[in-house]
Structure 1
Amino acid sequence: MSATADVQALTTFIRGLPKAELHLHIEGTLEPELIFALAQRNGVALSYPSISALRAAYQFEDLQSFLDLYYAGASVLITEDDFYDMTMAYMRRAQDDGVLHAEIMFDPQTHTSRGISMATIFSGIARALRETRATTGITSYLLLSFLRHLPEEEAMATLDAALPLREQYQDLWIGVGLDSAERGNPPARFARLYDRCGQLGFRLTAHAGEEGPAAYVQEALDTLGVERIDHGVRSEEDAALMARLAAQRIPLTVCPLSNLKLQVVDDMRQHNLARMLRQGIMVTVNSDDPAYFGGYIADNYLASALSLDLTRDELGTLAHNSISASFLPEAEKAALLEKLTVYLESCKI
């Protein structure tokens, strides 16, 4: 079999893997074509004269330069239909990539600061997710994410604005997260917020250990009380932390192509995903902001497999981890894991 045929076979295997995506920013799925279409629909003037010019701008020096472009792209999201179209475009891609469950982060502060109502944000995203669930069976949850470069008081106000909608969206909105620029914004700044969210019964995640040090991972676990770490690749700098992650089966939602694009690693062959997996860390593979980082979830699996010599069994373990680390009820996890088992067995025939 030729090398090209091998890659094609591997791609087919990866796309067929029943999996969950746990680290996905819905605003980061805005492809340049959709940005331009929404800008035209809403009369928004963009700084880029063409789709190709916008694509050319997707060359980032670091996380902050990406975030500047990310927030500019989000400016085209104004109506419920805009949020619906963005979310539906992602869900179609997720279905093609074998995603059976998605836990989607969204950043209300990016939109409410522009005068967009919380109700508009929720209604557009939720309509797409509920429609997808009804027509395909793909389940999803929402993780309302707070912007860590802004004060905790603003995050508290955002939570206050969203809580009146909780009952209406209780089938979807089950957790919260913390994202945006990590450098200089330690998790402990949001201790009161997370204490409140925990008391309200929300599932808790936070970005840590991407730009920030391993100590931020420790802080997110001990001060914020999170169940899952988003990114966490710098955990490897602390042997005691790594031992804890392995022993307690604390999930890391790793985003390999994002790490490459944002220069967390210089080459995919340097990525520590395989090392952490082989040390018993509960790592998962996700796409983060796929429109900006050059790949959706299957692309991340494929790039990891090719660069890190992951076996099909290890790819199956990553898919198993993604389902096990989800916030689904145990019975629903078991049903998805059974689908994965059946799929893996069928691939050995």
Structure 2
Amino acid sequence: MTSFITGLPKVELHLHIEGSLEPELMFALAERNQIAIPFHSPDEVRAAYQFHNLQSFLDIYYQGANVLIHEQDFYDLTWAYLLRCKADNVVHTEIFFDPQTHTERGIAFDIVVKGIHRALEQGRETLGISSQLIMCFLRHLDQDSAFATLSQGLSHKDKIVGVGLDSSEQGNPPEKFNAVFQQALTEGFLTVAHAGEEGPPENITNTLDLLGATRVDHGIRCVEDAALVERLVREQVPLTVCPLSNLKLKVFEDMKDHNIVELLRKGLRVTINSDDPAYFGGYMTDNFQAVADAHPMTQEEIAQFTLNAIQASFICEEEKQRLTRMTLDYLQSEKSSANSKA
């Protein structure tokens, strides 16, 4: 199964690019930009990654982002992530970035977008990895700040496909951002949002009904509302689930307790993603492997996570068909190989 997972084509739909900042790159950028950080070595940074909830992670996440100053920094960050994608056989990725994390520090919106986009274009050309970019609003800030961010994003509509909503869910329900999401929809952006990670299942419902979300990021607490689960199955609403993240943030105590396989078998369109892999201990292959190690699954079930992600992605129908064929061909070849060995 490890060999099967390694070779399986993968599609990532829930990745915060700032959360892929590995300690080694953090130190390199801090030195290059002469930014003081409260750690003396990459190992000391990793030792600090012991989180007890979402907020304890966010505190150190925003601290790490302080080393990102110049366009080249954002390019280097994104390129390092794309190299990990190549190693994990990720063929398509849809990346979140948090403009307010940087504009609040005086970093120009244009600098952030241009650095990320330049790396994504190079990844498309030289690594064969397609991508989309989604700008997220920080939900612990007010809606006026989100509107200002949306306004800045309008001049980059050729680079940004959608808007999202992330940061601390507790105390910041979807309805707080209803107006800015309606404006984003009017401007032609697709919409996604984090919901049902730490917050209650009604956050998932309101994300769909008020924010017009195409996908729900996380969504694992949907099981607390049977009618909602039925709706998610009926409407095939994608959930971008992040197993190692959920474990690291104590949403589940053990991967064996995680409900992602249960949701898959109920017929929900669940996908596997890495969220903030530098902080949560794993990229895409690591997340697939962690789920498979904890839950006995068939190769077809594991491949279904990729097939779900392809259908949930923001790529054109022709490209969805191409990636679907690629995945099914891989599945068939692995089964044929296993049969011949038997």
Tell me if TM exceeds 0.5.
Answer: yes
Deviation at 1:81, TM superposition (A): 0.7
* Stretches of 4+ aligned residues off by more than 3 angstroms: none
What corresponds to 1:269 in structure 2?
256
Q: Following the alignment from structure 2 to structure 1, what is the Cα–Cα distance between the partners of residues 330 and 253?
A: 34
- Superposition pairs for residues 157-306 of structure 1, below 5 Å? 157-166=148-157, 170=158, 172-306=159-293
Q: Following the alignment from structure 2 to structure 1, what is the Cα–Cα distance between the partners of residues 309 and 155?
A: 31
Q: Secondary structure at the match of 2:35?
A: coil
What corresponds to 1:310 in structure 2?
297
- Superposition pairs for residues 1-349 of structure 1, below 5 Å? 10-166=1-157, 170=158, 172-349=159-336
CA-to-aligned-CA distance 1:147-188 (integer Å, 9 cap, x gap): 00000010001111221232xxx1x41111000000010000
Contact 2:153 2:160 in 1 (8 A): no
Contact 1:305 1:311 in 2 (8 A): no
Deviation at 1:19, TM superposition (A): 1.8
Contact 2:14 2:273 in 1 (8 A): yes
Contact 1:22 1:253 in 2 (8 A): yes
Q: Following the alignment from structure 1 to structure 2, what is the Cα–Cα distance between the partners of residues 203 and 17?
A: 28
Note the aligned Cα RMSD (angstroms): 0.7
Deviation at 1:95, TM superposition (A): 1.2
CA-to-aligned-CA distance 1:308-348 (integer Å, 9 cap, x gap): 11221100111100111101111111011111111111101
Q: Name stretches of at least 5 consecutive residues in structure 2 with no aligned partner.
A: 337-342
What corresponds to 2:339 in structure 1?
none
TM (normalized to structure 2)?
Answer: 0.97
Contact 1:20 1:319 in 2 (8 A): yes
Deviation at 1:31, TM superposition (A): 0.5
TM (normalized to structure 1)?
Answer: 0.95
Q: Following the alignment from structure 1 to structure 2, what is the Cα–Cα distance between the partners of residues 16 and 231?
A: 25
Q: Following the alignment from structure 1 to structure 2, what is the Cα–Cα distance between the partners of residues 258 and 264?
A: 8
Contact 1:87 1:125 in 2 (8 A): yes
Contact 2:27 2:42 in 1 (8 A): yes
Q: Secondary structure at the match of 1:301?
A: helix
What corresponds to 1:6 in structure 2?
none
Aligned pairs, how many?
336
Q: Percent identity?
A: 54
Contact 1:104 1:142 in 2 (8 A): yes
CA-to-aligned-CA distance 1:227-271 (integer Å, 9 cap, x gap): 100000000000000000001100000000000000000010000
Q: Following the alignment from structure 1 to structure 2, what is the Cα–Cα distance between the partners of residues 116 and 216?
A: 32
Q: Following the alignment from structure 2 to structure 1, what is the Cα–Cα distance between the partners of residues 47 and 128?
A: 37
Counterpart code for 1:100: V
Q: Following the alignment from structure 1 to structure 2, what is the Cα–Cα distance between the partners of residues 189 and 276?
A: 28
Contact 1:285 1:301 in 2 (8 A): yes
Contact 1:144 1:175 in 2 (8 A): yes
Contact 2:12 2:272 in 1 (8 A): yes
Contact 1:112 1:118 in 2 (8 A): yes
Q: Following the alignment from structure 2 to structure 1, what is the Cα–Cα distance between the partners of residues 200 and 266?
A: 20
Deviation at 1:201, TM superposition (A): 1.1
Q: Name stretches of at least 5 consecutive residues in structure 1 with no aligned partner.
A: 1-9
Larger displacement relative to structure 2 (46-55 or 141-150): 46-55
Deviation at 1:11, TM superposition (A): 2.4
Counterpart code for 2:304: T
Deviation at 1:285, TM superposition (A): 0.2
Q: Following the alignment from structure 1 to structure 2, what is the Cα–Cα distance between the partners of residues 54 and 18?
A: 32
Contact 2:147 2:180 in 1 (8 A): yes
Deviation at 1:203, TM superposition (A): 1.0
Counterpart code for 1:85: D
Q: Secondary structure at the match of 1:212?
A: coil
